[in-house]
Amino acid sequence: MTRAPHQILIIEDEPVIREVLRVLLVREAYRVIEAPTAARAQIEARNHKPDLLIVDLGLPDGDGLDLIRRIRAWSSIPIVVLSARTLEEQKIAALDAGADDFVTKPFSAPELLARVRAGLRRGARAPSGDAPLGFGAVQVDLAVRRTHGAHAEIHLTPVEYRVLESLARRGGMVVPQRVLLREVWGPDRGQDTRGLRVFISSLRAKIEPDPRRPRYLVTETGIGYRLCPDDAADAATAGPSLER
């Protein structure tokens, strides 16, 4: 398989972790640029216009969150945060600052690569004409709003389609609850996470082989959800990392 040589900027002050990331990404045929500081990162990002950033939040010359806000002021490049900060509030703060997704240290290689692929897909995503989403035996065609199971058509409600659309637009990246609520119901329903959970359960009952152990519509506890439809590349290498 040939892959366009995407360029990834690694912003990480720890040389050992930078090296691990570089080896991992180069092995997947990505081109890699490295920056050990926030200041260097801004220069490299402007000079090289990479396709994706991997950002460590704890940098010697500033907080990664500030760096993300600064880059977001001029660029919509996909940003994956790599951080030892495990608290939900800190992940939400990173998403609020403009990050697209996060990986928690210590990270697994398949998980990191899956996040990178999702980020690159988000960066390249066409606004319309997407292929149907596959969830095992279930196929969802968002363009015409039809869903088929192994033997028969499955009825999804308009709200369920809107939830799937909002998740699918992020191509496998985490979508915070409040973003889903705003996109599906508008700005007035911002706090109704209980209502959202009801729709998520009913969707899982329709698309998941085992709704009690979801593998396609995955919960990120305290943060939101991500949609992981079948994908030849992801299915081969990233399956285990999605089952946390």
In terms of CB distance, is 58 or 211 closer to Ca ion? 58
Select the residue interacting with Ca ion from 7, 13, 132, 189 (CB under 5 A). Answer: 13
Helices 15-27 and 109-124 cross at an angle (nearest 10°) of 70
Asked if 196 and 177 count as a contact pair (C-beta separation under 8 A), the reply is yes
Question: Per residue, what are the HEC states of 153-172?
Answer: EECCCHHHHHHHHHHHHCCC
In terms of CB distance, is 58 or 136 closer to Ca ion? 58
Residue 58 binds to Ca ion (criterion: CB under 5 A): yes
In terms of CB distance, is 14 or 231 closer to Ca ion? 14
Stretch that binds Ca ion, among 11-19, 32-40, 123-131, 170-178 (CB under 5 A): 11-19
- We find the least distance from the C-beta atom of residue 84 to Ca ion, in angstroms, to be 8
Nearest to 12 by CA among 41, 47, 32: 41
Stretch that binds Ca ion, among 9-17, 31-39, 181-189, 219-227 (CB under 5 A): 9-17
Residue 56 binds to Ca ion (criterion: CB under 5 A): yes
3-class DSSP state of 11: strand
- We find the least distance from the C-beta atom of residue 95 to Ca ion, in angstroms, to be 19
3-class DSSP state of 203: helix
In the block, tokens 């990246």 appear at 173
In terms of CB distance, is 67 or 167 closer to Ca ion? 67
Four-CA torsion 195, 200, 206, 208, nearest 10 degrees:
-160
Using Cβ positions, the residue closest to Ca ion within the complex turns out to be: 58
Asked if 220 and 208 count as a contact pair (C-beta separation under 8 A), the reply is no
In terms of CB distance, is 13 or 230 closer to Ca ion? 13
- We find the least distance from the C-beta atom of residue 89 to Ca ion, in angstroms, to be 19
Contact positions toward Ca ion, by CB under 5 A? 13, 56, 58
